[in-house]
A and B are shown apart, each in its own frame.
Chain A
Amino acid sequence: MDRSIFRYILRYSARQQVVLTLMAAFSFPFLYAFYELPKLIINEAIQGDPADFPVEFFGLEFDQIETTMILSGGFLALVVVNQSFKYVINVYKGITGERMLRRLRFELYGRVLRFPLPTFKKVSQGEIIPMVTAEVEPLGGFIGDAFSLPAFQGGTMIVIISFLMIQNWMMALAAISLYPIQIYIIPRLQRRVNALGKERVRRVRKLSDRIGETVQGVQEVHANDTSNLELAIFSHQLGDIFRVRYQIYRKKFVIKFLNNFIQQLGPFFFYSIGGYFVIAGQLEIGTLVAAIAAHKDLAGPWKELLNYYQMKEDARIKYDQVVSQFDPAHMREPEYQHTEPEGPVKLSGDVAVANLILADEQETNIIDSVSFSTGLDQRVAVVGDSGSGKEHMALLLARLLDPDKGRITVGGVDWAVAPESVTGRRISFVGQNPFIFNATLGDNLFYGLKHRPLQPADYSGKAADEMDFFVNEAKRSANSTDDPNANWIDYAAAGSSGDDDLKQEAMRVVEMVALENDIYSLGLRGTIDPDKNPDLATAILSAREALRDRLKDPEFAPLVEGFDKDSYNTNASVAENLLFGNPVGDAFNPDRLAENEYVLSILDKVGLTDTVLSVGYQVAATMVELFADLPPDHEFFEQFAFISSEDLPEFQALLSRASKDNLGELKDEDRTSLMSLPFKLIPARHRLGLIDDDMRAKLLEARAAFAAGLPDDLQGKIAFFDAEAYNPAANLQDNILFGKVAYGQAHAADRVGELISEVIDSLNLRRVVAEVGLAYDAGIAGSRLSAAQRQKLGIARAVIKHPDLLVVSEATAALDAVSQARIMETIIDEYEGRGLIWVLHRADMARYFDRVLVMRTGRVVESGTPEELDRDGTAFRELVAAE
């Protein structure tokens, strides 16, 4: 990257800068006229000698009033012209700056992707993120101004000064006489402020780094009661920032004070010197007024120029700092990432490692002169103790680290120069903690197949225009023009021909890593859009039918209470019974039904309002009785109470002012509080005996009235339970169940789960359900998955790519013994005759492999088949014995 921001600006926006400067130049004549005209209006028209009128102009005669009006009109026109210039220049400037900023950010991000991995040990994300986001932001503003602002404002000043000079040179000189002092002092003061500014940027970066670290290590903070320590450190950092800012403020406002003082000296000279001349009759009053006006306008540009100077310094510092941070040693060239191989690459032959050396920061060799060779048709285990360097060996083989010396060639391709399109496509790597992106399981699984857009997405109408705009703008800023919404999946790489095939392959791979049951359960909890997926919705409805048949068996009948629009469901809450559907959006949030006007009107209509209120009172009374003397953080509150521990005192107070008989006199908010409680009641679960037959009958009436009278603006805010239709707001399982699992039946949930599973298998739906599971959102860094699920997904992602060489580094260490054995077994089977290098955390597992490399203190000390090595006196035996 260019070392100086000005060189960077000129390289990428020279044309725009020229245009901006020219536009500024064109605006000056109008500006001059803008200052000249008031003088004319006052001196010639308003105060002119009536004897000079009418004046003749282009053959037309005008009297004094007309002249004044015409000149004033001209003034107005000039205002419009000048402001239009400003508008056009500002917009153009803004766009230019924004494009440059976009280019800069894109380049910085691209550089982050090319950092050698060890760089990330030194630079944290807490430092990188603000640099790319907030810190470069002001640069965009500055880039638009870089040349045009001094040109425009400098030019404006020259225009104004020339105007003043022409009026009265002494006065003009007086007005600007103190500017040299400003030019001399201000930069000196400014330099000190700049140094402080630099310091502040550095400290704020550290601060954000600190916050990031706290968030990541928050478990440790709680587990060790170190929040006081963290707060103290944070407070100190804030204190340092404050100290720097404090100094900045003091210096900055001294500068401001000096600036303003010097600026105000101008009017002083005008009033004194100009006044003297007017009184002495050597100057017309109109000229003085115009001069004062012009000088006032001089303040603007002059201030802008001084600001510009500060901004320039700021931008220079920021640019220097950012650029130097984004230029680590040994950064890869862009070609590494962007070169496309000419045809499909397939690596075959040998993995040859020669004299490999990798040193750590203390110059100790982690990998010490390692040489070995193995075929890409062999399954190799690498074993060794924790200091043996085996994990680094895996990273080197996957080209995630570059060796300090020596050479790795894979299938004849030199790893030192191979582009990522070869290493990243033909090699898979799974480490101990594969990263799961905040996307669906499917997106994560297919992540390794997305190297470039293969099938463009279809756009039409407005979307197509927007896409054109995006591409054009991306080109102008040298950004990527690839469309993230295109289909990037390289089906061929996964050995499949299209979407359908790939899903089948995905299921096979998912089974290999023992993740199929998890994905199936996630699928059952997933929702689909029946309009986009009509076949699946129909299939789920037949599953519902099949389950209903199964539930006719008296053995299973008590397990589920199905939804029936004409009967009250005792295993569902009052809210569910009333709405008889799933809320869509927030309009019928079950927690806030008591505030919903429509719901209240329905209750009124069927005469339930008083009943609900009185049941609410009884629920509140029971809850207060049961939970009042439990400690507020007791888990029962969360598990059982209708009232949270914070709200309990409020309800206690409410109960003390209400009694069963005066509920009608309660304040509105008290009524709402009480009425919100019964909606959560589930008779079969809570067994409070508060919902009697009469209330049930009325609730059924309310249910019918609710659906019949739903106003237009609330249509679609609820997905009603309909025995014949798929419910888009409910998940697959609830759609199949179409009812509630009964409370109080032993193992009901498990037994219903088994029934559903039977039904799904009998209809051959397991695969499609699992496919819905692939749409499950993994959460931030995969946080909605268990550690084992993340690990398995990571392995599946590496396998589905069908790499020529799969490098596994202790990837199953965190799994339970059964899954570990199963996964290793299936992968070893899968890789028969293919390239597999597996760094093992337990040496005895090596006996399943074709070959074993034994590492010790960075060297390969033994190599051979497991049988060859499994004899007395070998390092391999020693390792196995030590386990």
Chain B
Amino acid sequence: MSLNEEVELLRNIPLFAKIEPSKLKLLAFTSERLVFDAGQDLFRQGDEGDAAYIIVDGTADVKVETPTGPLTVATMAKNDFVGEIAILCDVPRTATVTAASKLTTLKISKELFFRLISEFPQMAIEFMRELAQRLERTTADLQRISAQQTAEG
């Protein structure tokens, strides 16, 4: 896939939709395209976070360690963003992300990511929206689970 195709692809991601093409080109040029086989880890819980990934093709499972073993909490697919928490908050990886199928990603380094966020408010807003949606989802899950527990208890 050439750079121009990648730029096209990035434009279809809502997060980058409003960013001018030359910046997307820089993003594509300076980020690394990485292919993972099914079962390979993008990163593991507890690792140092140095990059975020945009899923270009395929799906990936997000798993967290629990006392009863790894628990898949989400599955990410095309155009999803993973691994941003560790570089945003400077904490170790909060989950393990594993390729569920053959997975093509764009790896964006921490420095580039911050540069984009700080230069394009539009992108920062999109990003906040994405994070807020995830929070909303997580809260809903939590409510459901605690309701279940109350019912069972």
Cβ 8 A contact of A689, one of B4, B42, B112: B4
Inter-chain CA distance A636–B30, complex, in Å, is 8
The verdict on A686 contacting chain B, using a C-beta distance below 8 Å, is yes
The verdict on B147 contacting chain A, using a C-beta distance below 8 Å, is no
Cβ 8 A contact of B30, one of A558, A639, A745: A639
Inter-chain CA distance A753–B75, complex, in Å, is 31
The verdict on A687 contacting chain B, using a C-beta distance below 8 Å, is yes
Inter-chain CA distance A279–B11, complex, in Å, is 112
Q: A635-B111, A687-B6, A688-B2 are in contact. Are A626 and B33 (CB under 8 A)?
A: no
The verdict on A48 contacting chain B, using a C-beta distance below 8 Å, is no
The verdict on B71 contacting chain A, using a C-beta distance below 8 Å, is no
What residues on B are CB-neighbors of A687 within 8 Å?
1-3, 6, 28-29, 33
What residues on B are CB-neighbors of A626 within 8 Å?
22, 25-26, 29
The verdict on B35 contacting chain A, using a C-beta distance below 8 Å, is yes
* Per-residue interface assignment for chain B, residues 112 to 142, with 1 indicating a CB less than 8 Å from any chain A CB and 0 otherwise: 1000000000000000000000000000000
The verdict on A640 contacting chain B, using a C-beta distance below 8 Å, is yes
Inter-chain CA distance A636–B31, complex, in Å, is 11
Inter-chain CA distance A639–B30, complex, in Å, is 8
Which residues in chain A, 631-672, are within 8 Å of chain B measured between CB atoms? 635-636, 639-640
Q: A625-B25, A626-B22, A626-B25 are in contact. Are A744 and B2 (CB under 8 A)?
A: no
Instruction: Give the distance to chain A from B20, nearest Cβ to Cβ, in Å.
Output: 11
Inter-chain CA distance A627–B112, complex, in Å, is 13
What residues on B are CB-neighbors of A636 within 8 Å?
26, 30, 112
The verdict on A121 contacting chain B, using a C-beta distance below 8 Å, is no
The verdict on B34 contacting chain A, using a C-beta distance below 8 Å, is yes
The verdict on B40 contacting chain A, using a C-beta distance below 8 Å, is yes
Inter-chain CA distance A626–B112, complex, in Å, is 14
The verdict on B32 contacting chain A, using a C-beta distance below 8 Å, is yes
Inter-chain CA distance A745–B102, complex, in Å, is 11
The answer to whether A744 touches B30, judged by C-beta atoms less than 8 angstroms apart, is no
The verdict on A329 contacting chain B, using a C-beta distance below 8 Å, is no
Instruction: Give the distance to chain A from B118, nearest Cβ to Cβ, in Å.
Output: 13
The verdict on A882 contacting chain B, using a C-beta distance below 8 Å, is no
Q: A626-B29, A687-B2 are in contact. Are A745 and B111 (CB under 8 A)?
A: no
Inter-chain CA distance A744–B107, complex, in Å, is 10
What residues on A are CB-neighbors of B26 within 8 Å?
626-627, 636
The answer to whether B29 touches A640, judged by C-beta atoms less than 8 angstroms apart, is yes
The verdict on B81 contacting chain A, using a C-beta distance below 8 Å, is no
Q: A626-B22, A746-B42 are in contact. Are A689 and B33 (CB under 8 A)?
A: no
The verdict on A188 contacting chain B, using a C-beta distance below 8 Å, is no
The answer to whether A689 touches B34, judged by C-beta atoms less than 8 angstroms apart, is no
The answer to whether A744 touches B22, judged by C-beta atoms less than 8 angstroms apart, is no
Instruction: Give the distance to chain A from B94, nearest Cβ to Cβ, in Å.
Output: 20
The answer to whether A745 touches B35, judged by C-beta atoms less than 8 angstroms apart, is yes
Cβ 8 A contact of B3, one of A555, A688, A746: A688
The verdict on A747 contacting chain B, using a C-beta distance below 8 Å, is yes
What residues on A are CB-neighbors of B1 within 8 Å?
687
Which residues in chain B, 11-66, are within 8 Å of chain A measured between CB atoms? 22, 25-26, 28-30, 32-37, 40, 42
The answer to whether A746 touches B6, judged by C-beta atoms less than 8 angstroms apart, is no
The answer to whether A744 touches B6, judged by C-beta atoms less than 8 angstroms apart, is no
Q: A688-B3, A689-B2 are in contact. Are A746 and B40 (CB under 8 A)?
A: yes
Inter-chain CA distance A746–B58, complex, in Å, is 14
The answer to whether B36 touches A746, judged by C-beta atoms less than 8 angstroms apart, is yes
Cβ 8 A contact of A744, one of B25, B29, B34: B34
Instruction: Give the distance to chain B from A482, nearest Cβ to Cβ, in Å.
Output: 52
Which residues in chain A, 677-695, are within 8 Å of chain B measured between CB atoms? 686-689
What residues on B are CB-neighbors of A625 within 8 Å?
22, 25
Least CB separation from A748: chain B residue: B34
Inter-chain CA distance A745–B37, complex, in Å, is 9
Instruction: Give the distance to chain A from B31, nearest Cβ to Cβ, in Å.
Output: 10
Least CB separation from A636: chain B residue: B30
What residues on B are CB-neighbors of A743 within 8 Å?
32-33
Instruction: Give the distance to chain A from B58, nearest Cβ to Cβ, in Å.
Output: 12
Inter-chain CA distance A15–B42, complex, in Å, is 82
Q: Most chain-B CB neighbours within 10 Å: which of A558, A622, A635, A744?
A: A744
What residues on A are CB-neighbors of B25 within 8 Å?
622, 625-626
Least CB separation from A746: chain B residue: B36
Inter-chain CA distance A778–B101, complex, in Å, is 46
Inter-chain CA distance A640–B111, complex, in Å, is 13
What residues on B are CB-neighbors of A639 within 8 Å?
30
* Per-residue interface assignment for chain A, residues 746 to 779, with 1 indicating a CB less than 8 Å from any chain B CB and 0 otherwise: 1100000000000000000000000000000000
Inter-chain CA distance A635–B3, complex, in Å, is 21
Q: Most chain-A CB neighbours within 10 Å: which of B30, B37, B111?
A: B30
Instruction: Give the distance to chain B from A452, nearest Cβ to Cβ, in Å.
Output: 51
Inter-chain CA distance A625–B28, complex, in Å, is 13
Instruction: Give the distance to chain A from B28, nearest Cβ to Cβ, in Å.
Output: 8
Inter-chain CA distance A453–B97, complex, in Å, is 61
Inter-chain CA distance A282–B4, complex, in Å, is 108
Inter-chain CA distance A750–B64, complex, in Å, is 24
What residues on B are CB-neighbors of A744 within 8 Å?
32-35
Instruction: Give the distance to chain B from A819, nearest Cβ to Cβ, in Å.
Output: 20
Least CB separation from B30: chain A residue: A640
Inter-chain CA distance A829–B78, complex, in Å, is 57
What residues on A are CB-neighbors of B34 within 8 Å?
744-746
What residues on B are CB-neighbors of A635 within 8 Å?
111
Instruction: Give the distance to chain B from A377, nearest Cβ to Cβ, in Å.
Output: 46
What residues on B are CB-neighbors of A745 within 8 Å?
34-35
Instruction: Give the distance to chain A from B107, nearest Cβ to Cβ, in Å.
Output: 9
Least CB separation from A634: chain B residue: B115
Instruction: List 20 other contacts, CB 8 Å, given A636-B30, A689-B2, A746-B34.
Output: A555-B37, A625-B22, A626-B26, A636-B26, A639-B30, A686-B3, A686-B29, A687-B1, A687-B28, A687-B33, A688-B2, A688-B3, A689-B4, A744-B32, A744-B33, A745-B34, A746-B36, A746-B37, A746-B42, A747-B40
Q: What are 27 of the A-B contact pairs (CB < 8 Å)?
A: A555-B37, A622-B25, A626-B22, A626-B26, A627-B26, A636-B26, A639-B30, A640-B29, A640-B30, A686-B29, A687-B2, A687-B3, A687-B28, A687-B33, A688-B3, A689-B2, A689-B3, A689-B4, A743-B33, A744-B32, A744-B35, A745-B35, A746-B34, A746-B35, A746-B36, A746-B40, A746-B42
A residues apposed to B, CB below 8 Å: 555, 558, 622, 625-627, 635-636, 639-640, 686-689, 743-747
